[in-house]
Structures are given as C-alpha cells and as structure tokens.
Amino acid sequence: MSARPAAAPLLVVRDLAKTFKAKRGWPVPKTVSVRAIDRVSFTVERGEALGIVGESGCGKSTVARACLRLIAPDAGEVRFDGLDVVAAGPTELRGLRRRLQIVFQDPASALDPRQRIADALGEPIRVHGIAKGREVERAVERLLDEVGLPPSAARRYPHEFSGGQRQRIGIARALALGPDLIFADEPVSALDVSVQAQILVLLDQLRLRRRLAFVFISHDLGVVRHFCQRVLVMYLGRIVEEGPVPAIFEEPLHPYTRLLKASSPVPDPEQAVAMNLQEGEPPSPVNPPPGCHFHPRCPFVMERCRVTAPPLTEVAPGRRVACHLFE
Amino acid sequence: MSAAAAVAAPPVAIAAPSAWKRATRSGGLAIGLVLVVAMALIALLAPWISPYDPDAQDVIMKLEPPSAEHWFGTDAFGRDVLSRVIWGSRVSLFVGTVATLAGVLIGTIIGIISGYYGGIVDKLITAATDVLLSFPQLIMGLILVAVLGPTLFNLILAITITAVPAFIRVARGSTLAMKERDFIDACRALGFGDLRIMFLHVMPNIMDEVVVMGSLWLAAAIRTESTLAFIGLGVPPPTATWGGIIREGFDNLLDAPWLSVFPSLAILAVMIALNLVGDGLRDATDPRTPQ
C-alpha cells in the first residue's frame, strides 16, 4: 500500500463482525451466540471525531475493542493508516499500539490501584523505549500538565483522586505514546455533568492541538453533538445511519435515530419529554428479529422489513441510512 | 442566599478507616503478630535460650515433674522437655514456613497463568487442581511421606504439594476477577507483554487474598507436620519435633502428662496466633467486613 493517496482515511473498517458464543443450560448445554457486531464498515479521517451512538448492548464497545484487537474479530478488515490491524504480527502490532489508544468509561477500574501515577504514565514510555531515566519523569510531568493536573499528582495513587481527575489520568496514559487515534469508550458517562463538560473541553483541545482523531462512543446524543463531526448510529450490531453533525440530529432519517432524538432529554423545562414515537424494549441480541432488527419497534414497519434487512445506502452526500423507506 | 448556606459546612469525615485502623481495631491481629514474632524469635534463638541440650540424656532425672530446674519436667530418657519444645519449634516452624512459602510461590504463579490465559490451559490446570484437592490434606501428606520416606526434605515437599492446589485456586479466582477490570485491557492496548501484565499488574493486586490465605495455611502446614510426626512419619528421632514429643509422652501419659501437654500447648498457641493474624489480615483487606 505504498501508492496510497495523501487524503486516505486514517482508519478503514470493513465488514467487521464478532459473535460471542457461550454454552448455557443444564443438563444439555446449548450454544448461545450473540452477534455483537454484524458487518460494520466505517472510516475515520485524520483529526476527526467520529461518534458512535446506540443503546447499551448494541455493540459500540465491541467495535472499539475489535479495532484495537483487544478481542479478535471473526471477520472483516481493520486498516490503520494502510496497515492491517487484524493480521499484524507481534512487532507490527507493537508499533500500532503506539498509534491507537483507548480511554475507558469507568476511571476507577481503568487504573492499576497499586501503581503510582508516575509509573502508570511512565511505564508505557519506558516499555516502548521512548525515553529513559530522568527524561521519563519530565515526559510524565508534561503529560500531567497537558491534561490539567499538577506535577505533584505523579507521586500519588489512583484512589487519591476524584473521578474526573482519574479520567484525566486515563487520558494522559492514552496520550503517553503519542497516538494518532483514540477510541473513547463512553469517557464521560461515569462522571458528574459539570465534570463531563471539563473533560469534553480537554478532549477537544487535545484533538485540535495534537491533530488527534477520536472514535467517541456514547449513548448521550447531546455529548456527541457537542464533540463529534460525524456520527454512526448503531442498533443491535448494525450501523443504521451515518451522517454529519448537526444534520443527523436536525433531520434524522432512520426511525431509530428519530426515536433516539425524541427520547433524549432537552434541557428545557418548558418542553415535555416526547416519548410518543414508540415504546418497547430493545430486542435481545441473542435472538434478533429477522429482517430489519428494528422492525418490532418501528412505527413505519412494512411487510418486507420483517423479511429482508435493508442495506446501508447513500441517500445524500455523506449520509447513509439502512431503511427501506429511503430506497 | 439563605442563612444556612452562609454558614460554612463543617468538614465531614467521609474517608473510610484505613486498612491499618481496620486491622488493629479488634486487637486480634496485634496479639497474633506479637505471638508469632515471639515464637519465631524463640525458634531462631534456640541454641542460646534453651536451658539444656535437648538430646542430653540423664537417666537419674527421668520423668521428673515440672520443677524450678526443669520447668516443663523431663521425659523417659531424662531429657529436658522445655529445651525439647524450644528446639522442636525450629523443625515445626521451619517445615511449615518453607512449605507454605513454596506453596504460595508455585500456586500463585500457576493460578495467575491459569486465570490469565483461560481456555485449554485453564481447563487442564483446574482439573488437576480439583483432583489434588479431593484428597484430604493429611491423607495426601501421609501417602507422600510414606512413599518418599520420612526426611526433612520429603516432609516439606509433601506439605508443599498439598498447599499448591489451594493457592492455585485462590490466585486463579482473583486473577479472573482482575481480568474484568479495564486496566488490564489498558495494559494490552499499551502493548505490554503477557508476563509484564501477569506479574507486574495482576500479581500485586491479588496478593491481599494470597497473603491472608497464606497465614491460615501456615497454621495448617504446621498442624500437618505435627500430625505426621505424631504418627511417626515426621523428621526421624532423636530430632525434637512437637508431634514427636507428644507421641513419646503418650507412653507415660498417666504418670507424666506434662510430656504431652506442653508441646500440645505450644501447637495450640501457634494455631491461635496464626489464625488471629489471618482473620485480622482478612478484615484489613476486605473493606466490606462489618466493623
């Protein structure tokens, strides 16, 4: 892939799929398979923040973990800057680890409780041979400064910090190797609203200053709208809609995106929460409905929705939607 | 602004009591530790503090009751029981400690590997562990010593083998719980090797449970050693061991009960001390323990 055009996307994901299998039942165990992600394709440009939204259990986090090869995908292709992530050997993978990082949802579980911050941030720098000795200390100080923490934080343990501060440390650790792309898996949903805003501002500054790309996974439309340039909407392991912000929120096309928008709270006491579109639980991913996964909840359901799954098709420049209404 | 808001809120102590406070609150850990340290010192300083040579026989002074000269009395060969109990602590504590440490080391390493890798490795290790654990500890020790022969090394080996599966199980379980935490995934995303993750990140975080288990197992190991010595499978005579002294005393239990009573009390004291330490450590490392 040497003759790659300069404007090639940073990350290309094609037909990524992962099915989790578990044996359940007694006395005769049955294999239960959960199709966590079902042929998901998307791209991320350099310096871009791409949002992935959807209900819990729709496969958002699995996408992030499969792209980072924290779990092995069953099928599909992940190319980062032209390099094949899924097939990378140990040496190649080590190189990729420096450029692809992740920030976790729960900052309490994301840090090793027995490690001082100086080591939590310094260890990756040492392991990858980026700096040695005193230089590591200085690098740690710079990282702490970059995420708005004092140098004295280095001597302390994770439990001595608040949730927001711990998330800053988690971000600093993700920055330690100088990545190009960070998967942020619900990075603010475990935090207070006021702290959420601070963390989002920090991430946005980092994106601009370091020209970082983000894949920002969230169930909070307001947060995604604020932070991202483009959004994917996932439902039960499939992408149902893709489009730029704010168009996708101003004029959502897929009935599921409309449901999401209608049910996300508006910070205005005058406006009653509209939940009239459709109630109902998301169906179990163990036993997804045939055809379009959304049809049991869809107010516009047609006969063929129950039989064939609609493909993701481009309906306008940059906007793709998987719905029979728009074919 | 309301008047109430103008009053500065008093600082509220919300911090959970520290591990040290929780451990020392009941006092059990402190008493246990003092006893354990005292026993260890007695064992280490045996050549200097034992009043007589533990093997020196004195036929004239045989089966003497406790007196100012012989605090714990003398046995059928006229040997000083106090000196024998002091020297016997060396064997019991040494065998127990070495066997437990070896069990902790081997069991923890295998347990972490089993829990971390999962899959077929885990299945095999777990199956082997279950087989070993299905033998009662004493029967296992008995078979091994009977087959291998009663030497100090074989005794330690036998007790280590009974300890290993218990520590595999504890370490494996804790590792599985640790693996669910995001920081292990973070380590992998940072490109750390499996060995680094297992021994620099998983191990320090599961040592709480292992140490608690270790202090309780030390008691069990000492008990096993004494039991084996009692039934004649310990370090061979004339070396003084607690179990051996109790057995020798059995021949004269009605005439000279002090022969068996004093070493039994020594074992009892060690058991109580180690269990106090184990319970105290468990309370200290488990914040959910009711205060």
The residues near A67 (Cβ < 8 Å, ≥ 6 apart) are A11, A13, A16, A78, A85, A100, A183, A215
Q: Has residue B22 been placed in a domain?
A: yes
d(CA B79, CA B52): 8
Q: Has residue B20 been placed in a domain?
A: yes
- pLDDT(B1) > 50: no
Q: Which residues of A touch B179 (CB under 8 A)?
A: none
- pLDDT(A272) > 70: no
Q: What pLDDT does residue B286 have?
A: 63
- The whole-angstrom distance between B185's CA and the closest CA on chain A is 7
User: When comparing pLDDT for B76 and B86, which is higher?
Assistant: B86
Handedness of CA B128, B133, B136, B140 (dihedral sign): positive
**Residue B255 pLDDT grade (very low, low, confident, very high; cuts 50, 70, 90):** confident
Give me the CATH number covering residue B114.
1.10.3720.10
The residue of chain B with its CA nearest to that of A115 is B201
Nearest-by-Cβ selection for A114 from B191, B196, B204: B204
User: When comparing pLDDT for A226 and B26, which is higher?
Assistant: A226
- pLDDT(B9) > 70: no
Q: Has residue B174 been placed in a domain?
A: yes
- Is the minimum CB–CB distance between A176 and chain B shorter than 8 Å? yes
- pLDDT(B18) > 70: no
- CA-atom Rg of chain B in angstroms: 24
Question: Mutate which of B183, B196, B205 to disrupt the A interface (most A C-beta within 10 Å)?
Answer: B183
Q: What pLDDT does residue A3 have?
A: 47
Q: What is the mean pLDDT of residues B56-79?
A: 71
DSSP state of B80: B
pLDDT in tens, A33-48: 888 888 899 999 998 9
* Average pLDDT of chain A to the nearest whole number: 86
Q: Which residues of B touch A93 (CB under 8 A)?
A: 191
Q: Has residue B290 been placed in a domain?
A: no
* C-beta atoms of A104 and B185 within 8 A: yes
pLDDT in tens, A217-262: 998 888 898 899 999 999 888 999 999 988 888 888 888 888 888 8
CA separation, residue A311 to residues A16, A241, A305, B84 (Å):
15, 10, 11, 86
Whether A230 contacts A242, CB under 8 Å: yes
Q: What is the mean pLDDT of residues B16-43?
A: 75
Question: Mutate which of A94, A98, A114 to disrupt the B interface (most B C-beta within 10 Å)?
Answer: A114
Torsion of CA A311, A274, A227, A160, to 10 degrees: -120
Q: What pLDDT does residue B8 have?
A: 42
- Please count the structural domains in chain B: 1
Predicted model pTM: 0.82
Q: What pLDDT does residue A327 have?
A: 75
Whether A118 contacts A155, CB under 8 Å: yes
Q: What pLDDT does residue A298 have?
A: 84
Nearest-by-Cβ selection for A127 from B181, B191, B204: B191
Q: What pLDDT does residue B105 have?
A: 94
Q: Has residue B291 been placed in a domain?
A: no
Q: Has residue B268 been placed in a domain?
A: yes
Q: Domain range for residue B104? A: 3-285
The residue of chain A with its CA nearest to that of B197 is A112
Q: Which residues of B touch A162 (CB under 8 A)?
A: none
Chain position carrying tokens 């996932």: A234
**Residue A207 pLDDT grade (very low, low, confident, very high; cuts 50, 70, 90):** very high
* C-beta atoms of A70 and B189 within 8 A: yes
Lowest-confidence range among A315-319, B21-25, B135-139?
Answer: B21-25
Q: What pLDDT does residue B19 have?
A: 60
Q: What is the ipTM of this complex?
A: 0.86
Q: Has residue B208 been placed in a domain?
A: yes
Q: What pLDDT does residue A2 have?
A: 45
Q: Has residue B214 been placed in a domain?
A: yes
- pLDDT(B91) > 50: yes
pLDDT in tens, B220-230: 888 888 888 88
**Residue B125 pLDDT grade (very low, low, confident, very high; cuts 50, 70, 90):** very high
d(CA A170, CA A124): 13
Torsion of CA A204, A208, A212, A213, to 10 degrees: 70
* C-beta atoms of A68 and B189 within 8 A: yes
- Residues of chain B whose beta carbon is less than 8 angstroms from a beta carbon of chain A are 181-183, 185-192, 196, 201, 204-205
Residue A146 burial by Cβ neighbours in a 10 Å radius (0-12, 13-18, 19+): middle
Q: What pLDDT does residue B25 have?
A: 65
- pLDDT(A315) > 90: no
Q: What pLDDT does residue B263 have?
A: 83
pLDDT in tens, B151-202: 888 889 988 998 999 999 999 999 999 998 999 999 999 989 999 999 999 9
- pLDDT(A273) > 70: no
Q: What pLDDT does residue B287 have?
A: 54
Q: What pLDDT does residue B7 have?
A: 42
